[in-house]
Amino acid sequence: MKIAVIGAGSWGTALASLLSEGLNEVVLWAYEPEVAIGINQNHKNPLYLPEESLNPALKATNQMEKALKGAKILVNGVPSHLVRTVLSKASPFVGPEVIIVNASKGFELDTGKRLSEVLAEVFPKIPKGNFVTLSGPSFAKEVLRHLPTTVVIAGVDPKVTETIQKIFRRDTFLTYTGKDVVGVEVGGAVKNVIAIAAGICDGMGLGYNTRAALITRGLYEMAKLGKMMGANPITFAGLTGMGDLILTCTGELSRNRTVGLRLGKGEKLATILKEMKNVAEGVKTAKVVYDLIQTFKMKAPLCVAIYQMLYEAKPPKQALQELLAIDLKEELGGLLK
């Protein structure tokens, strides 16, 4: 079976290399010709993972039709803000029988839609059951190094999710299945926003108590927003909620935490982003989350504060003072009722 992975950033590359370790033919589509050449000739991604060795069986191309011809599974690894644009170019080469695996995290910027909703619009002839989402606490470098990693495959058709579960399963890459696509995608998106705040706390030297409180309250706001969007709040206690949140807020490899860390030390956002090769999804996602909070008329002071620091240049010290001054109510605020 042929599998096409679209998007050769660090995460798409890691998944493509992982998949190529099996019996399937795997082709990775890269926007940059030099990335495809580097993978084919040197088994390395020269732009996004220059120090990591990839499976020699992995092939890459910058030609969309070549990547997709004959593919039965398409894995989306494109950054959230480019999903509709890039995958629309892929659509003419994708038949109605293809299974679409969304492995990207975030929301569409202009619409606030979840990425599986965007993909369903891009591929209107593909049945709803053929769309699944892969998410969980998973740094690309650690996947490539075969360090134990666990993710969730969420979809509405159990046969399809179990098929993808088996295809991705490896000795050190464990795949659970789930049905709550909304919860899985909201968790995967919002955790990046909270990770920026965790980095700011660390950059300001606020200590472990503050970080623990921030992660916990961030989890609450994540679950609250997810519930508003139709998710099961229990989902956020699992790998794609709490698990991914802990990883992204505390891991040294977290790009979003790195953005926050540098902000907390007084650097300017524009400078930080200019120097980063890989996308820090939380920066763009923060604006979408803020807009969703306004739409649902819900209280989420932490996410609002993150938006204000990123887009209104509010000083972190002022944001902290305002968060410490909020009125306190019941901890979970009727979340599980």
Hey, do 2-179 and 182-324 end up sharing a CATH topology, with the first three levels equal?
A: no
Hey, CA dihedral for 163, 165, 168, 172, is it positive or negative? negative
Look over the chain and give the mean of its residue pLDDT values, rounded to a whole number. 96
pLDDT the model gives residue 280: 86
CA distance 337 to 332: 10
Residue 254, pLDDT > 70, answer: yes
CA distance 46 to 277: 11
The three-point CA angle 12-18-22 to 5° equals 135
Percent of all residues in the chain with a pLDDT value above 70, rounded to a whole number: 100
Residue 33, pLDDT > 80, answer: yes
DSSP structural state of residue 107: B
pLDDT the model gives residue 241: 98
Considering the candidates 105, 113, 191, 224, report the single residue annotated as catalytic: 191
Comparison of pLDDT for 86 and 275, the residue scoring more: 86
pLDDT the model gives residue 337: 66
pLDDT band at 187 (very low <50, low <70, confident <90, very high): very high
Q: What pTM value is reported for the model?
A: 0.96
Of 218, 204, 196, residue with least CA distance to 320:
204
Domain ranges for the chain, please list them: 2-179, 182-324
Give the number of residues written for the chain: 337
Query: Does the active-site annotation cover 297?
Result: no
pLDDT the model gives residue 14: 98
CA distance 183 to 154: 9
Kindly indicate whether the domain formed by 2-179 is annotated with CATH number 3.40.50.970: no
Residue 320, pLDDT > 90, answer: yes
pLDDT in tens, 194-245: 999 999 999 999 999 999 999 999 999 999 999 999 999 999 999 999 999 9
Residue 68, pLDDT > 90, answer: yes
The CATH code that applies to domain 182-324 is 1.10.1040.10
pLDDT in tens, 118-151: 999 999 999 999 999 999 999 999 999 999 999 9
- List of E strands, 63-216: 71-76, 99-102, 131-135, 149-155, 173-178
